[in-house]
Copies of this chain bind each other. A is one copy, B any other.
Amino acid sequence: MQPIFDYIDNNRRLFIDRLIDYLRHPSISAHGIGMDQVADYLLTWLTSLGFDAHLMPTPGWPLVLARRFDQPATPTVLLYGHYDVQPPEPLEEWISPPFEPTIRNGRLYARGAGDNKGQHFAQILALESLLAVHGRLPCNVIVLLEGEEEVGSPHIAGFVRTHRDLLNADLVVTSDGPVAENGRPTIEFGVRGVVSFELRARGAKRDLHSGNFGGIAPNPLWTLVHLLGTMKNPRGDITIDGFYDNVLPPTQLERAVLACLPVDEQAAKRDLEIDHFDVPPDRPYYERLAFWPTLTINGLHGGYSGSGSKTVLPHEAFVKCDIRLVEAQTVEEIFAKVEAHVRRHAPGVEFIRQGGMDPSKTPLDSPYVQPLRQAILTAQGEEPLLVPAMGGSLPDYVFTKILGIPDFTVPYANADEANHAPNENLELDRFIRGIKTGAAMLTYLGQMQPSTVPARATDPSP
């Protein structure tokens, strides 16, 4: 790997300047700012690298799809990323403006530095470096860059379903999110899914006097309180009928890997100014986070909200909730179970489905893990932590469930990258190590013995 690492080190200044140029271009999907320009920027660059590159239209912003198949006998790696960024507001909290990238103390500050422009830029620079040094790539590569990740990826599932032929990869590698809190590199094998829903309760057609109608006319707030009380008990168990049917406990391997993940619960509680976490002894922190579903009330509103008191009986109320799903639960299953539960316990309450995303999990014993670990160790000098699943949700299921291929996330960004927040930043050393890691991953994947490469699924789930 030395020649390629030397090439990257020798071009450090140039690569940073090129990232700065990329980050100067806003691409805010939520506000429709700069999206086409940045998609064209990527298209031009990938084409110049000899990729068969296209903008793929969707009902929203286009995807950038680029394919280069240099090594028929090697695995095909799909590198996923997203070229859209979060809106930069509140602007007044930025020390330097969000689209004027600025280096301070070895970090580059700009919207998108970590999430996700800086990280997929490193992946593409890895491709460029490999081509510059070797003239060809060590394995086959598909680059897929989405323009709607920050607005919930509404069209990628449909795109993947209708373009399986263009996405004939063996595995997916995504560089997004931060490394572990303690700075260790990680390989993430999955994410929880999510469903969001709203419940609306209605009482009389107008607010009533609590003295004349309290206890007599229905109170939509009591209706919601009692309904929610049937959905989760004070111990945190979700009590929706059949809810845990498809929840599997961690395997022995998963438990062993979870036990290696560092967590400083005391420090986290101090930071949040709370005196306890709801983490029972038999369900430790990361197992709770990755292997158990949750039901969170995001917001609940109804009735009087002013100062003092008002003896009113409100006529409507609503609650917004999300459920995090774990592997083997599905969005459809959980929506159906929640809706049936609401119909049974509070037939008058309106159930409104909002967004949903299936969970995703790749086996820890996948044969691709070894080359990825080796690449990270070689490029960064540290063994990665293995994270069986993340607590949050990403549309990884489009690869694992729709295409039926393993999906690995290998983040390059520092833990305090401040993604989605003012003063988003990326440590420049991590950016350079990311380019090296990308080059090493493709190299080691290309060197896999044919006998260890799994046959590609011929009939993935629809």
Contacts and interface: CB of A to CB of B under 8 A. Distances in A.
Interface of A: 192, 194, 196-198, 203-206, 208-219, 221-222, 225-226, 228-229, 232-234, 236, 272-279, 285, 288-289, 292, 294-305, 308-314, 317, 320, 322, 324, 348, 354-355, 390-393
A273 B212 contact: no
Contact of A272 (B208, B233, B354): B208
A232 B222 contact: yes
Contacts of A322: 210, 214, 309, 311
A297 B301 contact: no
A219 B296 contact: yes
A138 B320 CA distance: 66
Nearest to A285: B216
A212 B317 contact: no
Contacts of A354: 308-309
A225 to B, nearest CB: 5
Contacts of A392: 209, 211-212
Contact residues of A: prevailing secondary structure = mixed
Contacts of A274: 203-205, 217-218
A211 B298 contact: no
Contacts of A233: 226
Contacts of A391: 211-214
B292 A298 contact: no
Nearest to A315: B272
Contact of A298 (B210, B288, B299): B210
22 contacts: A198-B309, A204-B274, A210-B294, A210-B298, A210-B322, A210-B324, A211-B393, A212-B391, A214-B391, A215-B288, A215-B289, A215-B292, A216-B279, A216-B289, A297-B314, A298-B311, A299-B305, A299-B310, A299-B312, A310-B320, A311-B322, A311-B393
Contacts of A226: 229, 233-234
Nearest to A309: B196
A89 to B, nearest CB: 15
A24 B309 CA distance: 31
A320 B297 contact: no
A114 B24 CA distance: 70
A229 B209 CA distance: 22
Given A194-B311, A222-B232, A301-B302, 7 more contacts: A204-B272, A214-B294, A215-B288, A215-B296, A216-B278, A296-B311, A309-B355
